[in-house]
Chain A
Amino acid sequence: MSKYITKRVLISILTLLAILFVLFLMLDFMPGSPFNDEKLTEAQKALLYAKYGLDQPFFIRFAKYVGAVLRGDLGFSYVLNKNKAVTDMIKGPLVVSLKVGALGMLLGTALGLLLGIAAALKHNTWIDTLCSIVSILGVSVPSYVFALLLAYFVGFKMGWIPILYSSKNVLKSFIGPMLALAMSPMASVSRFTRSEMIDVLGSDYIQLVESKGVRQSNVILKHALRNTLIPIITIMGPILVNLLTGSMVVEKVFGVPGIGTMMVTAIQSNDYNVTIACAFVYSAMYIVMMLIIDILYGVIDPRIRVAKEGS
């Protein structure tokens, strides 16, 4: 077990380094230098470069950059919020984004479970058909299309939810983005739950439990559901990816002041430092979550561990 975890952690660290390297390359390639002033002579420029360490070899600068990022120093914003430390700018939006994302994930998973169980119990009825329609729609229609449709029909036409985020009514403002983000997890979870549940319900131990006379609700909740839930962890990875992908544009559509909106705005106004910082935060979150899922799955299902160690 510890060998498996060490390996996963090592690979995650390498991935993080790879991302930092890409980001550093970006910074290096960005057009323009901070010392573009025409009045500066070559000698003065050389002095300035020396002062900021820009004359040093590539890899030393990279090492310094990694050190700075690990200390939480992500540079300063040039455009959006002049000379403010990016780390300070990101903290607030990150919390908002995490809240919206977690809510969407919870809602989606809960609805998906309900729908999947219902479809499995009423196998081959209209509920089952409904479940497959909903899941194929949710898997294939991108979340920001849902966001746009929600914003227009439910928000603008019917006026049930606010189209734009307002800090006065945070809870109500969360409804739109939450629903839009919940679609994709709901679809994947319901699809998966349905097929797993049908398998489990047909197994011998469920027949045994049923023939012992255990109540139907107990059969499902206590015996069937538990064994259905384990494999669902496998699809948590792709779901998280979709959620991250979706959150950027969905936040922008509803004007939620999260990290997605910040990144989109930073891209559109060429604020490189903020863009790169947001990219780093997204990647770091992604890597940590994938690591947790992998380890969790290894703990629950020893076969995965063995297979991955063997290869």
Chain B
Amino acid sequence: MSEYAEKHMPIIENDWEDEDFVFVQENTRLKDKVYQQTSFIRDVWNNFSKNKGAVVGLVIITVIILFAVFGPMISGYRYDEIILAEQSMPPRIPVLEKFHLFNGVEKGVNVYKDRGLTDVYHWFGTDTNGRDLFTRVWEGTRISLSIAFIAVAIDIIIGMSYGLISGYFGGKVDMIMQRFVEILNGIPTLILVTLIGLVLPPGLKTIIFALMITGWIGMSRISRAEVLKLKEQEYVLASRTLGLKSFGIIFKEIMPNIFGQLITMAMFSVPSAIFMEAYLSFLGLGIPAPAASLGTLISDGYKSLTVHPYIIMSAITVLALLMLSFNLFADGLRDAFDPNQKH
């Protein structure tokens, strides 16, 4: 280049990049920016973990379940082991001994020293029969929780099928099925549960059966309402056009879409099932001794409420915590599954 040109001609900045000279398909700059896709479960979890109460609820539930599974193993006692020398002992926990509530002192007397049991520790105390309450409370929690989970699982299966079928077919089928639900729903659950508890022999099966009789109604309502919404959608029409039979559409296409709501509902049902069980036990229609549930423990403790209040306190605390945390958890879950809904 001549000297003149170097002086007077503007230098064109090279504003291109090597990439501009490759085929379009290989040019990363021209591709749409796509954010990382998040799965449905991850979305739910992100929404859920923002809700402090719900996370606390989940943590408490986990801790209680762990205790319910392992508690009876680590206490060193069996739930039906009667030790006559150790009746009605207040709580005493090794490290927490220095503190007021867990020092084995009742009405100013250290019961453990009094009876010469200085190296015995009953973490929640013992009941009037001399059974270790720590073992019994967690054993009871385990039974109460299993009753609730089994009952709710059955509720989901029955309620979901009922609601799906009723909502999908509509017309006369729906009419008859809904009238049946309305009549059943008119009977107070408590009365029905009590009557069933009276007629059938006491035990796990009776309680689960009693809870099952009315528990599914809520589930059926939700699934019916959802089906009414979903069955007009195009993907259902597409499936039908492709020749899928009604039952295939109901259970393969529609069912997966209402699962979130059903799980939320189930989590709300767990505490009410636990409550119903406790209530039945309080009436004396619960699980026969020596097995224990939270309800039977509370009704036993109630008999000596003014003499040995600690007997009832551990069971009441666990029951209240369990119901509280399940409600918090379910609240969070509902918002997480459906963040747009206003509550």
Contact = CB atoms under 8 A, between A and B. Distances in A.
**Most chain B beta-carbon contacts within 10 A, residue among A19, A241, A275, A282:** A19
A18 B342 CA distance: 38
Contacts of B284: 267-268
B188 A241 contact: yes
B183 A18 contact: yes
Contacts of A22: 187, 192, 195
A270 B199 CA distance: 11
A145 B316 contact: yes
Contacts of A144: 279, 282
Contacts of B328: 136, 140
Contacts of B187: 15, 18-19, 22, 283
Contact of B327 (A15, A139, A148): A139
Interface string A13-55: 0111011001100100110000000000000000000000000
B270 to A, nearest CB: 11
B77 interface: no
**Most chain A beta-carbon contacts within 10 A, residue among B187, B298, B327:** B187
Given A267-B198, A268-B283, A137 B324 contact: yes
Nearest to B228: A311
B120 interface: no
Nearest to A264: B283
Interface string B178-215: 11001110111111101100110000000000000000
A195 B343 contact: yes
B309 interface: yes
B297 interface: no
B121 interface: no
A12 B182 CA distance: 9
A144 B190 CA distance: 14
**Most chain A beta-carbon contacts within 10 A, residue among B198, B283, B285:** B198
A165 to B, nearest CB: 16
Interface residues of A, number: 47
Nearest to B285: A267
A12 B191 CA distance: 16
Contacts of B189: 241, 245
A148 B312 contact: yes
B190 A14 contact: no
A148 B279 CA distance: 13
A141 interface: yes
Nearest to B175: A311
Contact of A15 (B186, B194, B302): B186
Contacts of B260: none
B278 interface: yes
A163 interface: yes
B271 interface: yes
A283 B282 contact: no
A287 interface: yes
B48 to A, nearest CB: 17
A152 interface: yes
B141 to A, nearest CB: 15
A140 B343 CA distance: 17
B323 A141 contact: yes
A11 interface: yes
Interface string B279-300: 1001111000000000000100
Given A18-B187, A268-B284, 9 more contacts: A136-B53, A140-B320, A148-B316, A152-B309, A268-B283, A283-B188, A283-B191, A287-B186, A290-B186
Interface of A: 11-12, 14-16, 18-19, 22-23, 26, 29-30, 136-137, 139-142, 144-145, 148-149, 151-152, 156, 163, 195, 241, 244-245, 248-249, 252-253, 263-264, 267-268, 272, 275, 279, 282-283, 286-287, 290, 311
Interface of B: 53, 178-179, 182-184, 186-192, 194-195, 198-199, 271, 275, 278-279, 282-285, 298, 302, 305-306, 309, 312, 316, 319-320, 323-324, 326-328, 331, 342-343
20 contacts: A11-B182, A12-B186, A14-B179, A14-B183, A18-B183, A136-B328, A136-B331, A140-B323, A140-B326, A142-B323, A145-B298, A149-B316, A156-B305, A245-B189, A249-B283, A252-B282, A253-B302, A282-B188, A286-B186, A311-B178
